[in-house]
Amino acid sequence: MHFLFWTAAGVLVAGTILRAEPQIDVENRVNALLARMTLDEKIGQMSQSTSMKTPLAESIKAEIRAGRWGSFLNAGSPADRAEAQRIAIHESRLGIPLLFGRDVIHGYKTVFPIPLGQAATWDRELVEQAAREAATEAATEGIRWTFAPMIDIARDPRWGRVAESLGEDPYLASALATAMVRGFQGKSLADALSVAACAKHFVGYGAAEAGRDYNSAWIPEILLREVYLPPFRAARDSGVATFMTGFEALNGVPATGNRFLLRDILRGEWKYDGLVVSDYEAVTEMIRHGFARDASDAAREAATAGIDMEMVSTAYHDHLKSLVERGAVEPAQIDAAVRNILRLKFRLGLFDEQIPPVGEAKPNAESLALAERAALESVVLLKNESGLLPLTEARRTVAVIGPLADSPLDQMGTWTMDGLRDRVETPLAALRSIMGADRVLYAPGLQTSRDTSDAGFAGAVDAARRSDVVLLFLGEEQILSGEARSRAFLDLPGAQEALFTNVLRAGKPVVVVIMAGRPLTFHSVAERARAVLYAWHPGTMGGPAIAQLLLGRRAPSGRLPITFPRSVGQVPIYYAHLNTGRPPSETELGIPMGTPLRPEGYTSKYIDVDFTPEYPFGYGLSYTTFEYSNLTISAPVLHAGQKLTVSAQIANRGKREGTETVQFYVRDLVASVVQPVRKLRGFERVTLQAGESRTVSFTLTPQDLAFYNQQMKLVTEPGKFQVWIAPDAVRGAMGEFELQ
């Protein structure tokens, strides 16, 4: 279980109650073992390798016996890992176990929706359960460390790794990061089916300049503390076992050598005692950044900044010993790093358990049902003209068009090295299963999402003409999102828009289902389609989930965790922006009529596209309609030490059950540091029957209204505030109160 307590210094800290050993015993065991270690053995613990392959080489066995490595990444088969662990425990001098890590990002054998898709569920419990299942499957095969959750705030969909993020908002990302940590780590790290989670990438990697992966980030400290740090603080407070630094240079200093981030904030302000690992070869990449002269200098910078373990590159192994011997790195810094590594291994119970039997993880009925539920809740209905959806199963035929309708690999999305392609159920297969193969006409139209040939258009148009309704699957395939998959344009790739235009000429109603790893720009398609579903990359059971939603067996409940731009030229675009001194009107478009001398219409907008988003943060439709009314505030004034309750009535005005994600926003109207037009401060998923209404309430304290001032102090200031209980970040029932 997790707990919070106040230290004598008055700092709120978090920890994990261990199954076998009280914390004081863990520290005693760590110190006793550390005292027996040579410098070479300590440096070995600080080194992680990818060199362990199948079959287990004799050279690797010898290195394990010598204590050369403390951890392996992406290492061998389950049998190889078990044998390597046996050698480490029984044949090395000190018997220190190995830590096996792997990128278990959104599932292991059972693949769940990409994290951005999971964020669209706004469902803490579901996100926790998905992480728990991923941990169970991974730990069964000897993996006890995952490099997730990735909690970089992402406001630029050009960045490919937006797929791994939890979206643009620090409040939502913090809530779901906490849920993921709980899921991965379980009730106790020492549980054999728990894995150590890793909060990454600390910090600001999601703000990579121009959306280009690995690029620089420039973030003022106020913005860093208000937006980019909160999810990491939430993960730290939930007991996350490890942190990983980013690839980027933050404000001119690589995150891997950034003492302000690692020493001042993480270790100093937050009192974090877990392991900090670099990203893949990020230590030696500081040379190319121009921050370190050579590998020796890079090792010194990383070690003194606070990197406990070097991933893959070998600067620590090659240079730390000589750096210590000549006084460039203090022995105490080495000991502190190794203490953090050993502490994690004790907390995981690796010293106390027997070598586990070789296991094999497989999807089962329970994991597949959970993956289907996650996919169901992640899909966002963006348009449903004249109530075309759900389709009645009495329709004679449907045309299923587009290569993504039947592509297991693309459906799984990025970071699914262990996903089982043969267990994926595609939308085409699911629709055939439910409706019967004779009522489902399939024509891919294109070979891949990037295909520019129109050779398959005729077959697609013919299928559309012979159907009652067209289900057109568009988007981007797996290879177009994820790490190193930045895109300068967010349009539908290849000839997909031309395919849509040709299919539309068949004269049948078209439902577009978009499967993608990021927000795309598809205004022309959405304008002409009758209905649009955004399904992300939905994972193993995405097909049955999409089919059930299309056919009305389930209703969509997903809500956007990130703003969708109208065009790439609007990027970055996000809901929690500042108002500016010349805010635009939503009716403004085109060239201003005034002049610099008479600046009528000179406002913060574009002259060639609306400044508003295509779809706002929090947006999503259902197969029913919800009405917000009767917002009430428990008192007109909030005083220090008190609480305020804000309530509104939510009514289902449609003819069927639906689930609404009720969102709670606040705005500080006047402050010593200008505040965003809205900040998310709460949310709740509410399921209502047709005609049912319910009062939904949120509680505010003065601490919920705090912000960082110009002196970097967290403060609350008196004044007037607006609040909204809303279906998204631009609508809702509004009220006001005063903080005194």
State the DSSP string of 639-667: -TT--EEEEEEEEE-SSS-EEEEEEEEEE
Q: Minimal CA–CA distance to 48: which of 323, 192, 244?
A: 244
Evaluate whether residue 578 is within a structural domain: no
The Cα–Cα gap between 400 and 292 comes to 55
**How would DSSP label each residue in 82-113?**
HHHHHHHHHHSSS-PPPEEEE--SSBSSSBPP
Q: Minimal CA–CA distance to 41: which of 72, 60, 68, 73?
A: 68
CATH of the domain at 139: 3.20.20.300
Tokens of 120: 């669209």
Q: How many CB atoms lie within 10 A of CB 559?
A: 28
**Local confidence band at 16 (pLDDT 50, 70, 90 cut-offs):** very low
**Local confidence band at 22 (pLDDT 50, 70, 90 cut-offs):** low
The one catalytic residue in 80, 103, 123, 279 is 279
- Return the SS3 of 461: helix
pLDDT over threshold 60, residue 514 = yes
Evaluate whether residue 259 is within a structural domain: yes
CB contact at 8 A, 149 and 181? yes
Pair 524, 642 in one domain:
no
8-state DSSP, 96: P
* Candidate from 65-69, 249-253, 358-362, 689-693 with smallest mean pLDDT: 358-362
Mean pLDDT, residues 249-265: 98
Q: Please list, in sequence order, all residues whose beta carbon lies within 8 angstroms of the beta carbon of residue 354, skipping any fewer than 6 positions away.
A: none
Question: Do the bridges between strand 679-688 and strand 249-250 make them parallel or antiparallel, or are there none, so unpaired?
Answer: unpaired
Q: Please list, in sequence order, all residues whose beta carbon lies within 8 angstroms of the beta carbon of residue 676, skipping any fewer than 6 positions away.
A: 575, 576, 577, 578, 667
Supply the pLDDT for residue 419.
Answer: 97
Q: How many CB atoms lie within 10 A of CB 214?
A: 18
Supply the pLDDT for residue 325.
Answer: 98
pLDDT over threshold 90, residue 79 = yes
Side-chain-side CA neighbours of 92 within 13 Å: the count stands at: 28
CB contact at 8 A, 257 and 286? yes
The Cα–Cα gap between 377 and 121 comes to 5
Q: Which domain, by its residues, includes 449?
A: 371-550
Predicted confidence (pLDDT) per residue in 535-557, tens digit: 999 999 999 999 999 999 999 99
Supply the pLDDT for residue 258.
Answer: 98
Supply the pLDDT for residue 6.
Answer: 28
Evaluate whether residue 565 is within a structural domain: no
Mean pLDDT, residues 119-136: 98
Supply the pLDDT for residue 8.
Answer: 29
Residue type, 538: P
Q: pTM above 0.85?
A: yes
The Cα–Cα gap between 473 and 512 comes to 6
pLDDT over threshold 90, residue 159 = yes
Pair 379, 289 in one domain:
no
Pair 122, 244 in one domain:
yes
Mean pLDDT, residues 347-363: 87
Return phi, psi of residue 308, to 5°: -80, -35
Higher pLDDT, 11 or 128: 128
Domain count, the chain: 3
Q: 13: exposed, middle or buried (C-beta count within 10 Å: 0-12, 13-18, 19+)?
A: middle
**Local confidence band at 17 (pLDDT 50, 70, 90 cut-offs):** very low
Mean pLDDT, residues 276-285: 98
Strand-pairing partners, residue 683, are 663
Domain final residue pick, 535, 550, 565: 550
Tokens of 230: 């909160």
Sheet of 626-633, strand order: 626-633, 644-652, 693-700
pLDDT over threshold 70, residue 13 = no
Strand-pairing partners, residue 651, are 627, 693
Q: 386: exposed, middle or buried (C-beta count within 10 Å: 0-12, 13-18, 19+)?
A: exposed
Pair 378, 446 in one domain:
yes
Pair 491, 634 in one domain:
no
Q: Quick one: how far is CA 250 from the chain centroid?
A: 20
Mean pLDDT, residues 349-375: 91
Evaluate whether residue 444 is within a structural domain: yes
pLDDT over threshold 80, residue 23 = no
The Cα–Cα gap between 101 and 179 comes to 20
Q: Minimal CA–CA distance to 572: which of 116, 153, 122?
A: 153
8-state DSSP, 418: T
pLDDT over threshold 90, residue 7 = no
Q: 402: exposed, middle or buried (C-beta count within 10 Å: 0-12, 13-18, 19+)?
A: buried
Q: How many CB atoms lie within 10 A of CB 670?
A: 11
Average pLDDT of the chain? Answer: 95
The Cα–Cα gap between 188 and 542 comes to 31
Pair 70, 14 in one domain:
yes
First CA to last CA distance, the chain: 38
Pair 495, 532 in one domain:
yes
Q: Please list, in sequence order, all residues whose beta carbon lies within 8 angstroms of the beta carbon of residue 101, skipping any fewer than 6 positions away.
A: 48, 71, 72, 73, 74, 143, 144, 145, 146, 147
Evaluate whether residue 22 is within a structural domain: yes
Q: Please list, in sequence order, all residues whose beta carbon lies within 8 angstroms of the beta carbon of residue 369, skipping any fewer than 6 positions away.
A: none
Supply the pLDDT for residue 586.
Answer: 78
Domain final residue pick, 550, 577, 602: 550
Supply the pLDDT for residue 14.
Answer: 36
Pair 226, 123 in one domain:
yes
Supply the pLDDT for residue 163.
Answer: 98
Pair 316, 391 in one domain:
no
Evaluate whether residue 605 is within a structural domain: no
Predicted confidence (pLDDT) per residue in 413-472, tens digit: 999 999 999 999 999 999 999 999 999 999 999 999 999 999 999 999 999 999 999 999
Q: Please list, in sequence order, all residues whose beta carbon lies within 8 angstroms of the beta carbon of residue 347, skipping any fewer than 6 positions away.
A: 16, 18, 26, 189, 190, 241
Q: Is 123 designated active site?
A: no
Evaluate whether residue 569 is within a structural domain: no
Mean pLDDT, residues 671-698: 98
Pair 127, 260 in one domain:
yes
∠ CA 685-724-116, rounded to 5°: 45
For the chain, how long is the longest CA-to-CA vector? 83
CATH of the domain at 709: 2.60.40.10
Pair 389, 337 in one domain:
no
Domain final residue pick, 528, 550, 572: 550
E strand residue ranges, 390-468: 398-401, 440-443
pLDDT over threshold 60, residue 21 = no
Residue type, 521: T
Cα Rg of the chain, angstroms: 27
Q: How many CB atoms lie within 10 A of CB 67?
A: 22
Pair 312, 386 in one domain:
no
Q: How many CB atoms lie within 10 A of CB 579?
A: 13
CB contact at 8 A, 166 and 177? yes
Evaluate whether residue 610 is within a structural domain: no
pLDDT over threshold 50, residue 20 = no
The Cα–Cα gap between 102 and 720 comes to 49
Percent of the chain, pLDDT > 90?
92
